[in-house]
Structure 1
């Protein structure tokens, strides 16, 4: 495991120096972080202002001679914001995972327009708490010529199936050049919607841009709601770094699944348990196809290739039969990983999509209508629409999708989005968990059964319970005071993080689970539960925005439960009989029913080798087992995996004379014979122990040689192919 040690000295205003030793290493990913309450989402980035290194030879750096405040102004005039919470939230936009759009912005036609107001039945603007309610929150326009410069299929700053990620303007400052995929196939039709971070002459803009064929060339038109930082007109001595950054584009929807929250809300709305159980059974039956269908098996092996460095995929592509003992063992492990999603309610569903949302530029749609553009153009009919992570009973809407001819004049042949109306007293996105159009994705389903069963509830209305704390404007601090305030905020966030959002969500789940199983709808218990759910919903939505508002959200004791449904896998639990409990139990039982695979050798590898060769690897295999027992002495899975891989490398070197078969330093005939010896020794030991996992040494050490032998035995040659291409073909 690679480890980087960084020493960082921080000098405080009172003269004290803090020396921080930072160790950076590959962690266990999201699952490990969820279990470790001491972890924090806070990241440290080190930015160079000056350099005395000989390699730089005194060259002036872009931040040379600037104060920290002046350096921040290179990106945006963040000091103009009204609070410290917004200061930190908005400046972090430069760290978004983005792809820089390579274009000279010096002759850009940049416009800031007003938002589309919500209007009541008398056509008067609607206000809430003195603030104008709007339909166009977070979305603007981009001219077609500029949109064509943007690659399609961008997700979180990289082109799906192969592009590199650039950390926005930080990457640009460091001189990195993004892979923008100039291929013509990515240029013919522009992305319909582009989620962006835009830094321009002190502005910081966040939101989505809809391609608009009506705009003049080289035009970007943003709404007031998209402008997160405005320029300081008095600041003229700082040269800003203008940069248009692409986060995500509106992409072709992949296979869509339900979620835990959505299942609970659908269940509350009248969708019966057997509907979800049928979806689950279909998913489990389909997953079993990986043991008999090569296409299904390869898709699973590619998607879960990180578990075994694509070994299972290589075996399948080399013609190893799907009933081979070790291959079936690896497929079982991968399928169990896939089924973990099923445990938490991620049930695949047909006729459903995740689409990026925006507002109808034509103004044609009525308040209960949407326009949806998919592969074959616009669709019509009733649709169910939901925005994650909605937890309110009314966060699911039933709307009418209709054809809007006028849209063609704006977007042409661009695809994949849902357009919401610009008419009515309230934005439909806001009705769904307080959503907007700055990149929010919406679950859209035209599944006929779902539409037939579900009955809508009144939409959520905001009910603030947490007051905003007092906060000085950043401009009111001196430079030294501002740095001290920011550092103090960093320490609080890192070492005293708020768990209000997770706590509200967990308690909502626990109470909602019980709420769904109480049969007497008029009982006082159910009435109390519904009131507590509403309070938790308000707290949860406040906690979602707490980093921007600066609110200190607290979940009171009376809203906290003592026990949780067993499927949440917490220490204090009860046996849930809700639909989520049934799904969890069914998947668990299904996994336990999978029979153990008998270990058998492939006939093509079950051959005699010389006694000398067999004796050599019998001794080495015994030594390996001793070594592996020694290295697997840590409770940390990542450390154990790294140690095991290092041990495999030792024995690869013995077999190949190099790190891999392609780097071999030994004759191929010797390598082939010894690979067969390893295979037979391992499999015989696995048969003796009745443990197919013991076959792993053969494939992890001699796998390349064994696959080469198998392909030669078929009378064929191997074909090189990038894993990303295979994933694209079989996704």
Structure 2
């Protein structure tokens, strides 16, 4: 035994000595090799690295993998400029080198990431991509940080112009040594080395990134802090995470080949899922940490499920436990847009919601893809976060938002425009979007991405050269054009003839150009031309990026190959007569163009001509290395006008112009009598149900069309709600008026019209005679014009048979559109009426002339900022827009309404009170029009206290009010008397549905209905209507699946006889409960869950067949 142990001891010592000698010989060989290659002694450094892997298995693991590196080393030796002895002689050196580099890479995760200036990082990324080089190692990046930004750029620019014959790292180190006499000062080097010191990261901390760099250093991530929800909670304070600032490069989404994952298994599994599924998991875990609520194996087990099944599984296991009020309604199908939401709190934490379904898409979403765009809502409770400096919000903007293993960064925001006048400060019309720049998710590996390797500024240049704008005030106002909801037309830009043409100047009686404040006045502001062949590609009836008649137009073959969705239209065969006017957003080679294009049959094919006034962003001729995404986007077309209505502003202006109160009251009484017929007249009921179909997904319309009697309890209840909604419009002065239209405007291309003439094309061609023309939201006495409509034969040569627009003259000293609340032709709609009574009564006033009272503040050009300064300035601008919105427009409009109400009721026209009121009205009008354009001019408009009133008319429903006797007060009082009381409808069953069912069936749905009531009580407890509606829809879907075995009757998975019996049971159980508590609203469950089955049964009971019909066709027939 002793001898045996002694033998083992000798063998152990002998083995130790052998490996010690091998290790020492390797170090000596490596020392010699590195002296030859680098001229630097690395022995201590290598010694530490080698001994860090102190186990025999770790060391031999490296030695076993030398075969391929040796082959690569042979190639390296053959191409190296300074030759060392042949490889076959210095074979140990190969092993040594490989051990050195292998140890270096294996030990990367223990080194800090060196943050370099944004320009340096961008240039490194470009060199790597152009010359197919791996990213720089830690020591090289550290050396670049020490020499400073200026010297680094000088070195890298030289390298970019030279073919790299060795390695990128070696070339950089060589250039740094030879650039020691450059211009980099110690001060600059110190500043560059401390770039990671900022209010958003601690310089003493490691700077790990949630991404990998192609062929570069591995990055250390603390797995305990990388769950999206929990990491968001820690983002503002956590020790283990301090990501790149916007001054660092935005690297492409890259692979994990040859790397060891350093994030949690759950995140790795999440990164393997389709993004929509991954996001749904993050949405349904609420404020919880991913690792605490689900395992990696569970995530992977769901990978191959269909989306509906996946959602149900995640809801059952996570959503109903952690996010009960946030269930989403998933809709499959082409052409549907998914919106992903992120809610950020003041402390920098965030959580996700969605995805939500949208029917339209923006240019931003189309270029990047839905899943690469994140809608971000910054939320606060109590006082404005601006008071505390918005530290948490700014940190999120600086670091970006982590969605699993993807990073999204601040990109664009859009002010609410006219919506901003709303006083509800709990919500905001300001929209903010972050977009993806980086990803470490497996699902993104190897995929092309348009923003790969780009800085934020370079990324914005993919859409337009927005940096060329003259002021910061216009920067986001123009860049946010990419957020317009549009439809893309497929255009071959290689053959496109694009011209910027001059605007038509306003001229005086001597035909000389008219200038105002040194600026040329023009007639053609915002409108250009498009050739007929291109106009034919555009469908008719487009409104805010959607085809309103529901036509399903196939995309062209090129668009299909490019993965375009059906909102990309190739419609040559669809529209034989093109739309007369097309409101567009046009992005072309750095240009950003906004306005309307008039079809022009005289133009050569494939031609677009835009006026100089339409060009919102000019291209940068020096920016040739960024390829912009060209696109012709349609917002709206000139469509067949629907029934027009008056507005409260127009009613007050018409009243001022001499239209008597009886004229408006007669219109109101007719409208109320017609609406009341909805309870007895099927045609009227169907019209109301179709117009208000968004309130119940057309359920009431379906009930009427299926033969359900109009006196059915729940149908009467729904009709009452819809009629009250219609009457809300009447309360605010939206009175339907005959012989009136809303038409898109443009300028006369023939030049025939005189300064007081227009040409109007309707269904049957051009019309003639006097017309009243107004542009909303005008509030000046002279914003309403009486003009002469005339037939212009020359127009046919330009537009052919195209219809629906109003043409204004291009003669005279001022544009008629400008006379109406400062309008133009970039898509503005004009109210046009040929109502004979209205024309007889109304007397026109002098038009409005601009009288600016608010000076423009100083503004630097965007090009004068550094990239980091620009991002900071833009986000500051967003925060002010979001949390310090200007309510000047709303305040001016409300005070104008209050004073105008009194002005119309004071009988003595010569009184000093009326004179003072008129002067105040004019001042408020000027402020109102300035506030309309404040987002583009940068003006800070304020309404002074002397123009503010203490009391408002009672119809404005304010606390401090007076009883108004004006026409708007009379309208309000008359409509209020007609308001329908919806809660006292008697509940009765239809005999057809009052049938007996089996006890088993009744028991099943009695229990389910009781559970539904409990679930709905919980759902409605959130107090947020948007949340409530979404959660309620999801709850109804749950019980639909219980009934049908699928989402609806048409995709049922259960026998029809079982569905029919259970539908009868649901109807009777719900109605019995509603009768018991005398609440007709409780009948809704039966129709929202079993409605399809009940209606199908009712039609079968009538022994009739159903006809398929698009809702838009019905609206057209019954409007």
Distance 1:495 1:362, change over 3 A: same
Deviation larger for 692-701 or 590-599 = 590-599
Q: How far did 1:29 drift?
A: 16
Asked if the contact 1:99–1:165 (Cα under 8 Å) also holds between the matched residues in 2, the reply is: no
Distance 1:657 1:341, change over 3 A: same
Q: Which residue of 2 aligns with 1:14?
A: 399
Asked if the contact 2:555–2:566 (Cα under 8 Å) also holds between the matched residues in 1, the reply is: no
Q: How far did 1:421 drift?
A: 0.7
Asked if the contact 1:97–1:168 (Cα under 8 Å) also holds between the matched residues in 2, the reply is: no
State the Cα deviation string for residues 52-85 of structure 1 (Å, max 9, x = none). Answer: 4333333442222222222222222222211101
Asked if the contact 2:490–2:569 (Cα under 8 Å) also holds between the matched residues in 1, the reply is: no
Distance 1:148 1:663, change over 3 A: closer
- Name the SS for the 1:198 alignment partner: strand
Deviation larger for 711-720 or 160-169 = 160-169
Distance 1:31 1:51, change over 3 A: closer
- Name the SS for the 1:618 alignment partner: helix
Q: Which residue of 2 aligns with 1:5?
A: none
**Quick check: 1:618 aligned with 2:1032?**
no
Distance 1:252 1:476, change over 3 A: same
Query: Over aligned residues, Cα RMSD in angstroms?
Result: 3.5
Q: How far did 1:663 drift?
A: 5.3
Distance 1:468 1:164, change over 3 A: farther
Distance 1:504 1:620, change over 3 A: same
Q: Distance in 2 between matches of 1:270 and 1:339?
A: 26
Of residues 477, 482, 497, the one that matches 1:94 is 482
Distance 1:170 1:547, change over 3 A: farther
- Name the SS for the 1:403 alignment partner: coil
Q: Distance in 2 between matches of 1:49 and 1:377?
A: 52
Distance 1:685 1:413, change over 3 A: same
Q: How far did 1:331 drift?
A: 0.9
Distance 1:607 1:58, change over 3 A: closer
- Name the SS for the 2:422 alignment partner: helix
State the Cα deviation string for residues 213-241 of structure 1 (Å, max 9, x = none). Answer: 11122211111111111222232232222
Q: How far did 1:166 drift?
A: 15
Q: How far did 1:140 drift?
A: 1.1
Distance 1:358 1:600, change over 3 A: same
Distance 1:675 1:54, change over 3 A: closer
Q: How far did 1:178 drift?
A: 4.1
Q: Which residue of 2 aligns with 1:7?
A: none
Q: How far did 1:519 drift?
A: 1.3
Q: Distance in 2 between matches of 1:216 and 1:190?
A: 16
Q: How far did 1:639 drift?
A: 3.9
Q: How far did 1:186 drift?
A: 3.5
Of residues 941, 956, 969, the one that matches 1:553 is 941
- Name the SS for the 2:436 alignment partner: coil
Deviation larger for 529-538 or 213-222 = 213-222
Distance 1:582 1:294, change over 3 A: same
Q: Distance in 1 between matches of 2:985 and 2:720?
A: 10
Asked if the contact 2:721–2:982 (Cα under 8 Å) also holds between the matched residues in 1, the reply is: no
Q: Distance in 1 between matches of 2:1038 and 2:563?
A: 39
- Name the SS for the 2:398 alignment partner: coil
Q: Distance in 2 between matches of 1:33 and 1:216?
A: 45
Q: How far did 1:597 drift?
A: 3.8
Deviation larger for 310-319 or 586-595 = 586-595
Structure 1's consecutive aligned runs of 4 or more residues displaced over 6 angstroms after TM superposition are 11-15, 24-33, 163-174
Distance 1:304 1:55, change over 3 A: same
Q: Distance in 2 between matches of 1:394 and 1:309?
A: 42
Deviation larger for 436-445 or 237-246 = 237-246
Asked if the contact 2:677–2:685 (Cα under 8 Å) also holds between the matched residues in 1, the reply is: yes
Q: Which residue of 2 aligns with 1:272?
A: 660
Deviation larger for 542-551 or 616-625 = 616-625
Q: How far did 1:262 drift?
A: 0.6
Distance 1:60 1:107, change over 3 A: same
Q: Distance in 1 between matches of 2:1087 and 2:886?
A: 46
Q: Which residue of 2 aligns with 1:177?
A: 565
Q: How far did 1:337 drift?
A: 1.1
- Name the SS for the 1:592 alignment partner: coil
Asked if the contact 1:76–1:201 (Cα under 8 Å) also holds between the matched residues in 2, the reply is: yes
Q: How far did 1:403 drift?
A: 0.5
Q: How far did 1:708 drift?
A: 2.4
Q: Distance in 2 between matches of 1:634 and 1:168?
A: 46
Distance 1:110 1:696, change over 3 A: closer
Distance 1:669 1:554, change over 3 A: same
Q: How far did 1:714 drift?
A: 0.9
Asked if the contact 1:355–1:418 (Cα under 8 Å) also holds between the matched residues in 2, the reply is: yes
Unaligned runs of 5+ in 1: 1-10, 16-23
Q: Distance in 2 between matches of 1:391 and 1:32?
A: 18
Q: How far did 1:379 drift?
A: 0.3
Q: How far did 1:434 drift?
A: 0.5
Q: Which residue of 1 aligns with 2:86?
A: none
State the Cα deviation string for residues 174-199 of structure 1 (Å, max 9, x = none). Answer: 95434355556742111111111111
Asked if the contact 2:554–2:570 (Cα under 8 Å) also holds between the matched residues in 1, the reply is: no
Deviation larger for 136-145 or 45-54 = 45-54
Q: How far did 1:311 drift?
A: 2.0
State the Cα deviation string for residues 394-416 of structure 1 (Å, max 9, x = none). Answer: 00000000001111111111111
Q: How far did 1:575 drift?
A: 1.6
Asked if the contact 2:983–2:1080 (Cα under 8 Å) also holds between the matched residues in 1, the reply is: no
Distance 1:638 1:213, change over 3 A: closer
Q: How far did 1:563 drift?
A: 1.8
TM-score (norm 1): 0.90
Deviation larger for 697-706 or 107-116 = 697-706
Q: Which residue of 2 aligns with 1:20?
A: none
Q: Distance in 2 between matches of 1:171 and 1:346?
A: 42
State the Cα deviation string for residues 343-386 of structure 1 (Å, max 9, x = none). Answer: 11111111001111111111111111000011100000000000
Distance 1:64 1:611, change over 3 A: closer
Deviation larger for 129-138 or 165-174 = 165-174
Q: Which residue of 2 aligns with 1:648?
A: 1036
Asked if the contact 1:357–1:419 (Cα under 8 Å) also holds between the matched residues in 2, the reply is: yes
State the Cα deviation string for residues 582-615 of structure 1 (Å, max 9, x = none). Answer: 1111111111478954333222223444566556
Of residues 63, 72, 91, the one that matches 2:451 is 63
Distance 1:623 1:244, change over 3 A: closer
Deviation larger for 575-584 or 529-538 = 575-584
Deviation larger for 624-633 or 280-289 = 624-633
Deviation larger for 363-372 or 314-323 = 314-323
- Structure scoring higher RCO (CA < 8 A, sep ≥ 6) equals 1
Q: Distance in 2 between matches of 1:702 and 1:595?
A: 23
State the Cα deviation string for residues 552-605 of structure 1 (Å, max 9, x = none). Answer: 101111111122112112222222111111111111111147895433322222
**Quick check: 1:313 aligned with 2:701?**
yes
Q: How far did 1:463 drift?
A: 0.1
Asked if the contact 1:164–1:179 (Cα under 8 Å) also holds between the matched residues in 2, the reply is: no
Distance 1:168 1:43, change over 3 A: farther
Asked if the contact 1:87–1:474 (Cα under 8 Å) also holds between the matched residues in 2, the reply is: yes
Distance 1:49 1:623, change over 3 A: closer
State the Cα deviation string for residues 210-269 of structure 1 (Å, max 9, x = none). Answer: 111111222111111111112222322322222211111111101111111111101110
Asked if the contact 2:421–2:891 (Cα under 8 Å) also holds between the matched residues in 1, the reply is: no
Deviation larger for 637-646 or 288-297 = 637-646
Q: How far did 1:307 drift?
A: 2.0
Distance 1:552 1:297, change over 3 A: same
Distance 1:448 1:640, change over 3 A: same
Distance 1:31 1:318, change over 3 A: farther
Deviation larger for 402-411 or 113-122 = 113-122
TM-score (norm 2): 0.60
Deviation larger for 154-163 or 492-501 = 154-163
Distance 1:695 1:134, change over 3 A: same
Q: Which residue of 2 aligns with 1:21?
A: none
- Name the SS for the 2:672 alignment partner: helix
Deviation larger for 50-59 or 377-386 = 50-59
Unaligned runs of 5+ in 2: 1-395, 401-411
Deviation larger for 433-442 or 656-665 = 656-665
Number of residue-to-residue matches in the alignment: 713
Q: Distance in 2 between matches of 1:277 and 1:318?
A: 36
Q: How far did 1:171 drift?
A: 12
- Name the SS for the 1:696 alignment partner: helix
Q: Distance in 2 between matches of 1:67 and 1:323?
A: 64
Distance 1:565 1:166, change over 3 A: farther
Asked if the contact 1:157–1:165 (Cα under 8 Å) also holds between the matched residues in 2, the reply is: no
Asked if the contact 1:566–1:573 (Cα under 8 Å) also holds between the matched residues in 2, the reply is: yes
Asked if the contact 2:422–2:890 (Cα under 8 Å) also holds between the matched residues in 1, the reply is: no
Q: Distance in 2 between matches of 1:531 and 1:438?
A: 32
Q: Which has the larger radius of gyration?
A: 2
- Name the SS for the 2:538 alignment partner: coil
Deviation larger for 444-453 or 675-684 = 675-684
Distance 1:646 1:93, change over 3 A: closer
